[in-house]
Amino acid sequence: MARRLSGRATAEGTRRFAARFGSRVAAGHFRELTGGLALSSVGIGTYLGPEDAATDVLYQDAVTRALELGINVVDTAVNYRHQRSERAIRTALGGAVARGIVQRDEVVVATKGGFIPFDGAVPRDARGWFTTTYLESGIVAPGEVAAGIHCMTPRYLADQIERSRANLGLETIDVYYVHNPETQLGEVTRPEFLARIRAAFEALERAAREGTIGVYGTATWNGYRQDPQAREHLSLAELVAAARDVGGAEHHFRVIQVPYNLAMPEAFTRATQRVGEEAVSTLETARRLGMYVMASASVYQGQLTRGLPPLVAEILGGLETDAQRALQFVRSTPGIGTALVGMKSLAHVEENAAIGAHPPVAWSEFQRFFSAADA
């Protein structure tokens, strides 16, 4: 087995990374996660692309270039490109450390588990492969898989953490998400879901104590955006309470990932969550509960990189491209920590990393987006 990088992201290491860029980045480019970690306001995602060697190399080069340009948040999932994205990150990060571009403690690596991943490619007999890999091995028991694709039992998550650690070549995964847990609500009752998520959190608290992960969270698509009466709705306050129950006041449930962009602003604009008796937005709920927020789909898989209305350029002045403006909108939103954007082109890495030289837009200007929408 290939040697894994020891250690994890630390406050000292990530602040060292931030300091190295000095005046090349503006105030506000680095934001603080629990424990004093300094995270860049733009992170590189690795979701899209075919499962082939050429795309592996593109991601390897893109991650390396992102690290060179002041981006220290790398996001992936075990099922992205059938585990190949995690393996591309292993090559990139291992090479960057070996060449002195970064040290391991300067980089925050996040991955996810929940969806059952193929291994490198779709097998000819997917059912047989699943039976052999997961059922006959005892990793998954009948009845534990929702929608035919999702599992979050403690035994399954332990297996997935180990697969991701091996894929990434890391001793410790800095942020580990339960991936789209709302998938379970399509098949199980809410009480059963809460029992399952509580068991998952117990397993992740144990992994944090053992040092295989740093902190954990939930990476969602619909869960936090939907109204409380919706079947897939997730209550962040309820999940934080479950984490406190199993992990105490010093629990490790500290990060959420939600889709947020110019076309999908619900996390900021809609009061889908309740804190006590008050209905508030997901971002405000996260702020009150001390959660760091990663925004996924910041440029909506490229749909927001061209053709934006003139008002966007007017409010987000000083930027050259619509992709930069879309990212600036996300990273300027109160409550957003890091705007994640998939990048496998060096030109896109350089374009998007350049946003770090610009301070977030002041609220006095930013709120014009919403006053215009109300007009």
Whether 277 is in a domain gets the answer yes
Q: Residue 9 falls within a domain, yes or no?
A: no
Q: Is the per-residue pLDDT at 1 higher than 60?
A: no
Residue 86 near residue 167, CB atoms below 8 Å:
yes
Rg of the chain, C-alpha, whole Å: 20
User: pLDDT at residue 372 above 90?
Assistant: no
Is residue 23 domain-resident? no
Closest C-alpha among 255, 256, 239, 257 to residue 247: 239
Which pLDDT score, from 0 to 100, does residue 305 have? Answer: 92
* pLDDT tens digits for range 261-318: 999 999 999 999 999 999 999 999 999 999 999 999 999 988 999 999 999 999 998 9
Instruction: Give the burial class of 191: count Cβ atoms within 10 A of its Cβ; 0-12 exposed, 13-18 middle, 19 or more buried.
Output: exposed
In a domain, 11, yes or no: no
- We report the CATH number of the domain holding residue 327 as 3.20.20.100
CA distance 162 to 150: 17
**What are the beta bridge partners of residue 115?**
150
Confidence of residue 334 (pLDDT cuts 50, 70, 90): very high
Kindly state the average pLDDT of the residues 89-99: 98
pLDDT per position as a tens digit, 128-156: 999 999 999 999 998 999 999 999 999 99
Grade residue 374 by pLDDT with cuts at 50, 70 and 90: low
For the record, the structure tokens of 101 come out as 């571009």
DSSP 361: P
Q: 79 lies in which domain range?
A: 31-374
8 A C-beta contact, residue 224 and residue 236? yes
Residue 373 has a pLDDT of: 59
Domains identified in the chain, total number: 1
Q: Which residues pair with 255 in a beta bridge?
A: 217, 292
Strand partners, 108: 73
Residue 20 domain-assigned (yes or no): no
Q: Is residue 19 part of a domain?
A: no
Give a yes or no: residue 86 inside a domain. yes
Provide the 3-class DSSP secondary structure of residue 170: strand
In the structure, what pLDDT confidence band is assigned to residue 2 with cuts at 50, 70 and 90?
low
- The reported pTM is 0.96
Q: What is the mean pLDDT of the chain?
A: 96
Inside any domain, residue 286: yes
3 falls in which pLDDT band (50, 70, 90)? Answer: confident
What is the DSSP code string of 116-148?
A: PPPSSS--SSHHHHHIIIIITTTSS-TT--BTT
